Amino acid sequence: MSGWMGGSELAALRALLDRHVVGHDEAKAALLLGLVCREHVYLEGPPGSAKTRMAEIAARGSELDFFFYQMHRDTRLAELVGDVVLERRPLAASPGDPEPRGERIHQKIEPGGLLLAQVCVLDDISRAPGEALNVLLRILNERKFGDAPIPLLSAIATSNPMRDEYYNEPLDPANMDRFGIQLSVGSLVGSSEPELARSLLDRFVDGEVEEQPVLEPVCDRGLFDRLFARLGKVPVPEPVRQALLQFLHVLVRDYDCNETNALLTDRSFLVKSVKLLRGSALMAGREAVEAGDLDVLRWMTTFRVPAEVHAQVPEILERVKEKYR
Amino acid sequence: MEATAVADALESAIVGQAQARLGLLLALVAREHVYLEGPPGCGKSLLAETLARAATAKPVFVQFHRDTRSAELLGESVLLARPAAGGQRLSRELLPGALLEAEVAVLDDLSRAPGEAIGVLLPILGERRTAGLALPLETAIATAAPRGAESYGDPLEPTQLDRFAIQVRLSGAVSSDRAEEARQILERAVRTRAAEAAAAGSGLPLSAAERRALQARAAALELPASIRSALLRLAARLREASPEGEALITDRGFGIQAPRILRAHALLRGADRVAEPDLAAVGVMLACRVPESVRAALPELIDESISAPDSAQGAVPGEGADRVSGEGGAGVTTPGASVAADRIDAPIERVASRSPDTDLTSAEVAPLLEAIEGRLERGSAERGDDPGGTPRRYRRMRRLEEVFDADPIEAVQFVDGELPGMPHSYARERPSRGGTLAVLRDVSASMEGRLSRWAGEVVDGIVRTAARRRMRIGYCEFNHHAERFTADGRFFHRRYRKLRSLARSRRSEGRTNYEAPLRLALDEFRRGVGDNRHVVLLTDGVPVLGDPVVSRERREARRLGVRIHTVFLGLGECPQVLDQLSRETDGVRFRGVPAAGGRLRVQARVERSADR
């Protein structure tokens, strides 16, 4: 994905991320793509791999209202969206009851937290009881609470790898599908690039990277509004459309992805994918989608197809791109 | 015709899904309810919302979720205080909510609703009245994820689904590899701007008066006797073609709902009376009423029902059906019937996953699995409340923070000090997804041949049963010493596939020792957390090494709350210690006994002495 952010307005934000977080190029790009396309991002990785830090830096660096919530085993919706209040009002008169003596008691939610944020981090989402997530994820999907729209651009959920932790439960498929972009993040220590871990160590020891950085905004919050306004107009040329369809066809026909083992939903792969392709083009500073933008699809398949198929997605994409070049 | 406007609106909103679109139109005209089932992201909600917007002035949209309260469906409760002799009288009344005033209701994600909400909802749908009040509701459209998919609500039962005359199952274009449809959806996604998407379907192509006129015309269409007879024969054929107990062919469905749907179909066709082609409309009723294979055979079943010898006019439905089945037997495709023969004894999933190298029918293991599953169930019931769980019922509030879950009116009275005692609040429980199970399998020298195969079969079945509940499982083989099989260094894990391959192990050597494997399992349990703990001990022999009565382990199992289920495969007398183990820890006791054809049959062990 060379050329990303070259000359685009996002370069400053990316530089800010690079200044405070070592490595994780892919996750940084995916986060920014999520903000540009207004898609939610799911990051899975071991503790301490800068997942939350990246999200917070991206938000603060662009003056977006940020909300962080640590999910836990007993998480309830009310903790995320504000306070539950009981409202009582004297009952209004009605034709049958000209002088009512009584009151109307109504349970409602005073908006807070998630409902007012533009970027939110839902930390350790797998710790929350699966059932509790339904409502939350519905809010994320519709970007509405009740009838009121919410200002949220992107929710970033983080999770530890799905091992056999005692309280972890895998997200159920419908919930997983709400996160357009999904990727796993590794730790630098023990990665195939030991020099990154070394660099992290050096920069911390030398004080170049602070643990709690004071962040100055590097762009204004209007940036994402401007980008989003342009997003829908970015042309998607015919060969790219064909390549996308061919890619999906190959997954189903040659790699046996079906409704039981994969989550190849129409909504994600025919509608959201178009947004991501366009976002990828915008981030590269281009005015039209190109075959190279199809690489973003590998951030969609991470947890939507079986792991062994996902491992082959880059290869499949190469073949498809070759065919429709 | 006015209905075409609605059809156009649906077609412009969604690509493909013709059956669902037809079903929705028919529902609107026939004033019936619709149940749309399909995977995420295939357009269920979009279709439902489009119909509601396109066809009515009074829609309501209910998004079901785990915490949907009956109050959200019915309306708000109000507390009325009226002066009465010597004080005031408090009473509670209902301010009717949107659902009670709507003509078309979209019930999104109904499968996520808690049982309580469904209990309130279904009578409303069925009777179209509540608390003596007639409702304007014409059509409710429910959407749901496929049953069996991981969902956290209480699954709807078939009998509940019967309220939904029209039932259609949808699938995604991508995952079903429908290339042309996928192409069109993509084209639309590229074209459609967010603003246009919001505007789509906001018009009202069909006025309320036009809608009512359509409904009245449909209801007045002639339904000739020949079609009535054919419909009843079709109902009978559908029932015959389905395996015993798997068809939901009710009087309501075929006596009341189907005629309305046929009339609506005739009207939409532009016909002035119901005729044979309208029988095809029964197809939109079948998603959850008959197995898929039977639904696929519908055209043939309709042909048979139409062409049946004319016993029809005025015949008793039962007679007609008998005759058809008597004469139509040969050469008729009834895929369901052949399935039925296989299924009589063994549930399909057990048949499907039977390993090829076994000479046992899995049905023989079934009683054991069912008994163990029953205990797993019991374990989960004991698990009790969980603040993050699903609301199940009301009980008295126990902790102050539960006030958020309390009945609002009682909560207010409580705060005012007017409530004697505590308000009622939801009891939340979690379905058991968890728990731990250790499988201890005897591989001593005597466990060879069919005993070993059979033990493998039992292990395999147990793993599958436990996997459905997402239990963590530990697997240990023992003879004179116990060997633990770990994944990532853990004894208890969820690598079900790996566990099932271990079940195929065929080794048999050494002598039997009960103490070692129980010791090992209990040590693991002691280190871990959580309740719902089980051990299944599979053995064929008496312990010749270690403590033969495992007194320390029995004590420890009781202390740790571990249930020990014992399965004795030997032919001799079952060691008393196995009975003791199970009895003391509330486990199940089974033994394998020889059966015809060199097979083994599993049956509950009965107490030999009355010394309980």
- Distance in angstroms (rounded) separating the CA atoms of residues A223 and B106: 37
Retrieve residue B376's tokens.
């797993």
Residue A92 inside a domain? The answer is no
55-74 in chain B: CB under 8 A from chain A: 63, 65-67, 71
Quick check: is B357 in a domain? Answer: no
Q: Are residues A243 and A187 in the same domain?
A: no
3-state secondary structure B324-363: HHHHCCCCCCCHHHHHHHHHCCCCHHHHHCCCCCCCCCHH
- Shared domain for A58 and A119, answered yes or no, is yes
Domain that holds residue B407: 387-429
| pLDDT value of residue A167 | 45
**Within a domain: A294:** yes
Query: What total of structural domains would you count in chain B?
Result: 4
Give the helix/strand (H/E) hosting A183: strand A181-184
B94 plus B212 within the same structural domain: yes
Cβ–Cβ contact A168 with B under 8 A: no
Tell me what ipTM this predicted complex has.
0.81
Same domain for B45 and B157, yes or no, is yes
- A236 lies in the same domain as A207: no
Q: Which of A9-13, A20-24, A205-209 has the lowest mean pLDDT?
A: A205-209
Report pLDDT for A192. Answer: 73
Task: Give yes or no: residues A185 and A238 share one domain.
Answer: no
pLDDT at A48: 79
Does the beta carbon of B558 lie under 8 angstroms from any beta carbon of chain A?
Answer: no
| Nearest-angstrom CA–CA distance, A224 and A222 | 5
**Rounded CA gap, B231 and B561, in Å?**
58
Rg (CA), chain B: 30
Q: Are residues A163 and A34 located together in one domain of the fold?
A: yes
- In a domain, residue A96? The reply is no
Instruction: Give the single-character DSSP code of B443.
Output: -
- B147: contact with A, CB 8 A cutoff: no
Residue corresponding to tokens 């469905």: B253
Q: Give the domain CATH number at B533.
A: 3.40.50.410
Claim to verify: residue B178 and residue B322 sit in the same structural domain: no
What does B2-37 look like in DSSP terms, one character per residue? THHHHHHHHHHH-SS-HHHHHHHHHHHHHT--EEEE
Residues B178 and B238 occupy one common structural domain: no
Q: Indicate if A305 and A169 belong to the same structural domain.
A: no
Spell out, as residue ranges, where chain B has pLDDT lower than 50.
149-153, 194-195, 198, 201, 310-363, 379-383, 609-612
Mean pLDDT of all residues in A240-254: 94
A73 and A193 belong to one structural domain: yes
A4 within domain boundaries:
no
Q: Establish if A77 belongs to a structural domain.
A: yes
DSSP B257: I
A319 pLDDT band, cuts 50/70/90, is very high
Are A105 and B179 an interchain contact pair (Cβ–Cβ within 8 Å)?
no
Question: A 7-66 residues with CB below 8 A of B?
Answer: none
Looking at the structure, do residues B311 and B447 belong to the same domain, yes or no? no
**Do B170 and B30 belong together in one domain?**
yes
**Look-up: residue for tokens 């679109």?**
B21
Neighbour count for residue B149 (Cβ, 10 Å):
17
Distance CA B368, CA B589 (A): 9
- Most confidently modeled of A134-138, A253-257, A315-319, B364-368? A315-319
Interface test with B, best of A75, A97, A109, A131 (most B CBs within 10 A): A131
Contact B430 A271 (CB under 8 A): no
CA distance A255 to A310: 10
Residues B233 and B180 in one domain: no
Are B178 and B19 in contact, with CB atoms under 8 Å apart? Answer: no
Same domain, A202 and A293: no
Among the listed residues A46, A77, A82, A60, the one whose alpha carbon sits nearest the alpha carbon of residue A13: A60
Nearest C-alpha neighbor of B33 from the set B285, B236, B243: B285
Answer yes or no: is pLDDT of A5 > 70. no
Say if residue A54 is in the same domain as residue A121.
Answer: yes
Quick check: A83 contacting B, CB < 8 Å? Answer: no
What confidence tens digit (pLDDT) does each residue in A30-48 have? 999 999 999 999 998 887 7
Per residue in A50-98, pLDDT (tens digit) is 888 888 888 888 888 888 888 876 677 777 887 777 777 776 666 666 6
From A200, A226, A252, give the residue that closes a domain. A226
Mean per-residue pLDDT, A181-201: 80
pLDDT at A100: 60
- pLDDT value for B155: 60
Query: Does A161 have pLDDT greater than 80?
Result: no
Q: What would the two tokens of residue A163 be?
A: 């091992």
Which of B78, B171, B493 lies at the smallest CB-CB distance from A102?
B78
As for how many domains chain A has, the answer is 2
Residue A163 and residue A242 in one domain? no
Do the Cβ atoms of A175 and A155 come closer than 8 Å? no
Q: Which domain CATH number covers A171?
A: 3.40.50.300
Among residues A292, A297, A300, which one has the least CA distance to residue A321?
A: A292
Q: What is the C-alpha to C-alpha distance for residues B281 and B369, in angstroms, rounded to an integer?
A: 42
Q: Where does a domain end: A226, A250, A284?
A: A226
- Mean confidence (pLDDT) of chain A: 82
- Strand pairing of B34-37 and B139-144? parallel
- Neighbouring CB atoms inside 10 A of B506's CB total 13
Q: Does residue B103 form part of some domain? A: yes
Q: Which residues from A are below 8 Å from B170, CB to CB? A: none
- What is the predicted pLDDT for the residue at B352? 31
- Predicted local distance difference test score (pLDDT) of residue A273: 94
Using CB atoms within 10 A of its CB, is residue A107 exposed (0-12), middle (13-18) or buried (19+)?
A: buried
Q: Which of B204, B219, B234 is the last residue of a domain?
A: B219
> If you search the block for the tokens 């990532």, which residue do you land on?
B488
Q: Please tell me whether residues A77 and A119 are part of one structural domain.
A: yes
pLDDT reported for residue B203: 55
Domain containing residue A312: CATH number:
1.10.8
- Clarify whether residues B43 and B162 are in a common domain: yes
What range does the domain containing A320 cover?
A: 232-325
Whether residue B366 is found in the same domain as residue B483: yes
Q: Does B189 touch chain A (CB under 8 A)?
A: yes
Contact B151 A172 (CB under 8 A): yes
